[in-house]
């Protein structure tokens, strides 16, 4: 919802300012229409219905996976595409994956979003409207900024959105920001007052390979990125989640696992091995190779889990839906 427009409309209707807080509370609890907002005067509801749309985004496509994952392709008012995903887990957890930008200015070679044209940063309202869309389906309790875009390059809006997510039932501890390792962004997350989780997309244990996979590594090489993660750890007293996408024959060899174990202090990092959702550029590692990699890390006492693949049948990997629709 365009909250500035809502405030204006409430004022123009001669209603007190607390009315827009009431609207927000309804939205945050999953209201699907003004109709439901029964503590607002009927004429105001009517007026808002006509002047302030419930969302800044329109739904262009929605795909539902057999495993319950829902992926939605949205469009902004100025026609920019973006995607968000609701992941449903058997233990009842409901996690929403949000986009922070339409497209992405970075060009990671394995990522479908990286091959799209960069659009722009999303506004706070556009970020929240993705979460509100799924909140209208059911309760949500986790948010990850692992959709399109690099959240640390839109950090003001991302942090402002995080400030309102608790109204939707998602605490900051259950909100994770994932980054390619954009050092000033990591420092902002470490320095802000919110106990947000930090996830680092590492994907390679040395600069040579990492620069090949992620050109941003030339700007912020491994040593600088890990030093920033250490500052986060010191300040927050929390481990950093490391994401490592498993590319067959590229970064999944035993020597890569050993090198990674040497690079990361097991007390400070938890590794999440991500089965690759093929988008053309690489082949994904087989489950056996992923398990071999995981076993080597755990021999070195580095905790590693293999991420559950969700929504593979609906192109749920970063950027895939938008790429196919265009």
Cα(230)–Cα(236) distance, rounded to whole angstroms? 10
Nearer to ligand SAH, 70 or 84 (CB): 84
Q: Minimum distance from CB of 279 to ligand SAH (Å)? A: 5
Nearer to ligand SAH, 56 or 201 (CB): 201
Site for ligand SAH in 159-218 (CB under 6 A): 178-180, 201
Q: How far is the CA of 236 from the CAs of 20, 90, 240, in angstroms?
A: 34, 30, 10
Q: Minimum distance from CB of 323 to ligand SAH (Å)? A: 10
DSSP secondary structure of 38-94: TTS-HHHHHHHHHHS-S-S-EEEEEEE-TTS-EEEEEE-TTS-EEEEEEEE-TTS-E
Site for ligand SAH in 241-260 (CB under 6 A): 243, 245
Burial of 14 (0-12, 13-18, 19+ CB in 10 A): exposed
Q: Minimum distance from CB of 83 to ligand SAH (Å)? A: 11
Span of 13-21, 121-129, 164-172, 269-277 interacting with ligand SAH by CB under 6 A: 269-277
275-298: b (≥16 Cβ within 10 Å) or e? bbbbbebbebbeeebbeebbebbb
Position among 172, 197, 277, 285 found at the interface with ligand SAH (CB under 6 A): 277
Closest by Cα among 168, 33, 50 to 98: 168
- Known catalytic membership, residue 83: yes
Cα(62)–Cα(45) distance, rounded to whole angstroms? 29
The size of the interface with ligand SAH (CB under 6 A), counted in residues, is 17
Cα(292)–Cα(276) distance, rounded to whole angstroms? 16
Rounded to the nearest angstrom, the gap between the alpha carbon of residue 41 and the centroid of all alpha carbons in its chain is 37
Q: Minimum distance from CB of 62 to ligand SAH (Å)? A: 20
Cα(285)–Cα(248) distance, rounded to whole angstroms? 4
> Which residue has 């970063």 as its token pair?
318
- Asked if 93 and 142 count as a contact pair (C-beta separation under 8 A), the reply is yes
Q: Which two tokens stand for residue 127?
A: 């970020």
282 lies in the site for ligand SAH, by CB under 6 A: no
Site for ligand SAH in 49-108 (CB under 6 A): 108
Position among 111, 131, 168, 297 found at the interface with ligand SAH (CB under 6 A): 111
Position among 279, 310, 311, 322 found at the interface with ligand SAH (CB under 6 A): 279
Nearer to ligand SAH, 95 or 201 (CB): 201
150 lies in the site for ligand SAH, by CB under 6 A: yes
Eight-class DSSP state of 208: H
Q: How far is the CA of 270 from the CAs of 122, 170, 237, in angstroms?
A: 30, 22, 14
225 lies in the site for ligand SAH, by CB under 6 A: no
Q: Which two tokens stand for residue 123?
A: 């506004």
Q: Minimum distance from CB of 314 to ligand SAH (Å)? A: 13
Q: Minimum distance from CB of 32 to ligand SAH (Å)? A: 29
Nearer to ligand SAH, 39 or 117 (CB): 117
Span of 23-31, 117-125, 223-231, 273-281 interacting with ligand SAH by CB under 6 A: 273-281
The one catalytic residue among 83, 126, 150, 243: 83
- Known catalytic membership, residue 162: no
Which residues carry out catalysis? 83, 318
**Where along the sequence are the contacts to ligand SAH (CB under 6 A)?**
108, 110-111, 146, 150, 178-180, 201, 243, 245, 274, 276-277, 279, 317-318
């Amino acid at each position: 919802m365009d909250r500035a427009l809502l405030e204006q409309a409430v004022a123009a209707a001669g209603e007190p300012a607390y009315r827009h807080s009431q609207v927000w509370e309804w939205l945050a609890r999953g209201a699907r229409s003004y109709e439901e907002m029964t503590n607002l005067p009927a004429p105001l509801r009517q007026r808002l219905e006509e002047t302030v749309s419930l969302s800044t985004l329109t739904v262009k496509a929605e795909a539902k996976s057999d495993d319950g994952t829902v992926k939605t392709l949205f469009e902004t008012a100025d026609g920019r595409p973006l995607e968000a995903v609701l992941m449903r887990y058997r233990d009842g957890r409901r996690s929403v994956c949000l986009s922070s930008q339409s497209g992405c200015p970075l060009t990671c070679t394995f990522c479908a979003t990286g091959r799209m044209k960069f659009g722009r940063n999303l506004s706070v309202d556009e970020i929240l409207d993705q979460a509100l869309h799924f909140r209208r389906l059911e309760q949500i309790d986790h948010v990850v900024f692992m959709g399109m875009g690099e959240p640390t390059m839109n950090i003001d809006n991302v942090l402002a959105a995080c400030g309102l997510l608790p109204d939707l039932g998602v605490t900051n501890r259950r909100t994770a920001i994932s980054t390619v390792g954009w050092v000033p962004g990591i420092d902002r997350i470490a320095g802000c007052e919110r106990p947000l989780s930090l996830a680092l997309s590492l994907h390679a244990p040395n600069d040579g390979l990492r620069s090949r996979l992620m050109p941003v590594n030339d700007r912020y090489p491994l040593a600088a990125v890990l030093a920033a993660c250490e500052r986060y750890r010191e300040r927050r007293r929390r481990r950093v989640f490391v994401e490592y996408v498993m590319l067959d024959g590229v970064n999944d060899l035993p020597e890569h696992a050993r090198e990674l174990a040497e690079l990361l202090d097991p007390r400070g990092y938890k590794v999440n091995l991500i089965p690759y959702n093929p988008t053309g550029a690489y082949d994904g590692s087989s489950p056996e190779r992923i398990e071999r990699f995981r076993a080597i890390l755990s021999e070195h006492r580095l905790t590693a889990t293999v991420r559950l693949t969700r929504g593979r049948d609906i192109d749920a990997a970063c950027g895939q839906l938008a790429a196919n629709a265009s």
